[in-house]
Amino acid sequence: MKTTKNTETAAAKKKGTATTQSKSKGTAVKAKSSAAEGLRELFVESLKDIYWAEKALVKALPKMAKNSTSENLITAINDHLEVTKGQVARLEQVFESVGEKVTAKKCDAMEGLIKEGESIMEETQQGPVRDAGIVAASQKIEHYEIATYGTLAAFAQTLGEQEALSLLQQTLEEEKEADTLLTEAAYNNINFEASEEDEQ
C-alpha cells in the first residue's frame, strides 16, 4: 500500500513537471532568423533602434513646441531639439567607433510615445492644460531614452568599447538634464496654471 502511494506521488510530481514544461514552452518566443546571438549583436541592434528614435524625435519636437504656450516650455523643447540633433551625430560616431555601418531600425517604443504625445495634443485645448500634457509626454520620452542610453553604456563597458562608452555617457547626461528641465518647467508654473483652469 505504501509502495502504491509513493508511486502515485511520483506520478503526480512527474505530471506536474510535464505541465510546467508545457506551460513554459507555450510562452517561449520564436526568434527571427536575423536574431542577435551575442551581446555585441544586441548592442548594435539597440543602437539602430535608438538612432531611428532620435531621428523621429527631431521631426516630432517642432510640433510639440508649436503647440505649447509656455515660453519656458517652448525654450526647453527648442533647446532639446538642438541637443537631439547633436545626439544623432554622436550616435553616428558610436557606430563608427565600433566598426558598424550607420543604420536605423524602426523603434516601436518611440513611435508609440510620439503617437501618445500627438493624442494628448488632440485631446486638449491649447493653453496650460495642453502644456502640462506635453510635459508629461516629453518626460515619458526622456525616461525611455535614459533607460536606453544607460543600458547601451553598460553594454559598451562590458564589451570594452571605451570610445562608444564615453559618447553614450555624454548623451545619457544630456537626457537626464533635459528631464530635470522639464520637471522644473512643470513645477514652476505649468501644472499650477493648468490647475487654475480647472477651478475657473
Q: What is the pLDDT along the chain (200 residues), one digit of tens a residue?
A: 555 555 555 555 555 555 445 455 568 888 776 656 799 999 999 999 999 999 999 999 999 999 999 888 899 899 999 999 999 999 999 999 999 999 999 999 999 999 999 999 999 999 999 999 999 999 999 999 999 999 999 999 999 999 999 999 999 999 999 999 888 877 766 655 656 655 55
Looking at the chain, how many residues does it have?
200
Q: Determine the pLDDT at residue 182.
A: 85
Verdict on whether the full-model pTM lies above 0.75: yes
- Helix ranges (H only) for 28-127 are 39-66, 71-97, 108-122
**Hey, what's the cell of 72?**
519656458
Give the DSSP H/E element, type plus range, for residue 157: helix 128-159
Neighbours of 2 (CB within 10 A): 6
Give residues with Cβ within 8 angstroms of 95, minimum separation 6.
Answer: 47, 51, 101, 102, 103
Q: C-alpha angle with apex 65: 60 to 68, nearest 5 degrees?
A: 130
Among residues 113, 97, 101, the alpha carbon closest in space to that of 148 is found at 113
Rounded-to-integer distance, Cα 100 and Cα 110, Å: 23
Which residue type occupies 117? G
